[in-house]
Amino acid sequence: MAPRDFLVGVVQTYQPGEFFRYPPVHLLLLSFVTLPIWLVGVLKATALTPQALVHEFIQPPYMTMFAVIARLVTVLMSLGVVALMARLGEEVYDRRTGLFVAIVVGLNAPFTYYSQTSNLEVPYLFWSLFALVELARIIVRHEPGRLPTVGLLAALAVGTKDQAAALLFCIPLALAGWFVLDPWPRNESRRVLGKLARAALIALSSLALLDGALVNPTALRLESAFFLAAAVKTTPSTRTRGQATPASWATVSSALARFIPGRSCS
């Protein structure tokens, strides 16, 4: 994910008629942690026009800081992935198993490669594993009260990368297996199913809010067209490619002009 796309990707997600090729959760996180740099660039730009903003932000100091911060965030989340895998092994088996799981994950070659990039693989694994750890605690400890947390974490995972949608299928399957193999959830079915319904509501509403479906419902159609076109190797004609565009920068400049009076955006 290119540094120039952090803030613009957020704008495209919530701007009616537009969409960005990646979900917005990690874009929002990176936009927040790099906010001071964006503010410096906006104040140093000669004007709030799209051309002036692009000219300012493509300078190497900005791009370098954006890239370094994005990689640092990934490094921190990769450490979180190792810790979560250890916790998952410990919950399911014991502490020694968790330690060996952490060692195997930490020495995994593809994982160590992606742990220092700005790709979305590590962030979506972080949220996915967080959800799975909570799911393991529900099953092992008989704590259905954690189900709403699982729903929220699953929404954050899907809101980071679409491939995490597999969680929305795997979690119900795991819970179904729990009901079959363990008499406890059957005996507490009313309580468990009530928490499960609440978790589903939290997951779906959080995902709709994060993905911009409430303010930009056309984005779902455009995003679906993007992935369907990628599957058949064609180019849909009714969308942008989900990248930074002049129109997106124009929207950014107009929004900034409302918050910074006295600066021209045209």
Task: Assign 3-class secondary structure to 139-169.
Answer: HHHCCHHHHHHHHHHHHHHHCCCHHHHHHHH
Q: Among residues of the chain, what percentage have pLDDT more than 90?
A: 56
**CB-neighbour burial class of residue 25 (10 A; exposed 0-12, middle 13-18, buried 19+):** buried
Structure tokens at 207: 């995902």
Q: Position of tokens 């969409």?
A: 19
Query: What letter represents residue 236's amino acid?
Result: P
pLDDT beyond 50 at 240: no
Under the banding of pLDDT at 50, 70 and 90, the label for residue 105 is very high
Say what angle helices 35-44 and 25-33 make with each other, to 10 degrees.
60
pTM: 0.87
Contact call for residues 21 and 161 (beta carbons, < 8 A): no
- Which residues does 253 contact at the CB level (< 8 Å), separation at least 6? 48, 49, 50, 53, 265
Which CA distances in Å does 39 have to 26, 62, 253? 19, 11, 12
pLDDT beyond 80 at 225: no
Mean pLDDT for 173-181 is 95
What pLDDT was estimated at residue 237? 42
Mean pLDDT for 238-260 is 60
The mean of the pLDDT values for the chain is 85
What pLDDT was estimated at residue 245? 61
pLDDT beyond 60 at 236: no
pLDDT beyond 80 at 242: no
What pLDDT was estimated at residue 251? 65
**CB-neighbour burial class of residue 57 (10 A; exposed 0-12, middle 13-18, buried 19+):** buried
Structure tokens at 140: 């092992």
Mean pLDDT for 176-188 is 95
Distance CA(247)–CA(83), nearest Å, equals 42
Contact call for residues 163 and 153 (beta carbons, < 8 A): no
pLDDT, tens digit, 9 for 90 and up, residues 46-96: 877 778 888 888 889 999 999 999 999 999 999 999 999 999 999 999 999
**CB-neighbour burial class of residue 94 (10 A; exposed 0-12, middle 13-18, buried 19+):** exposed
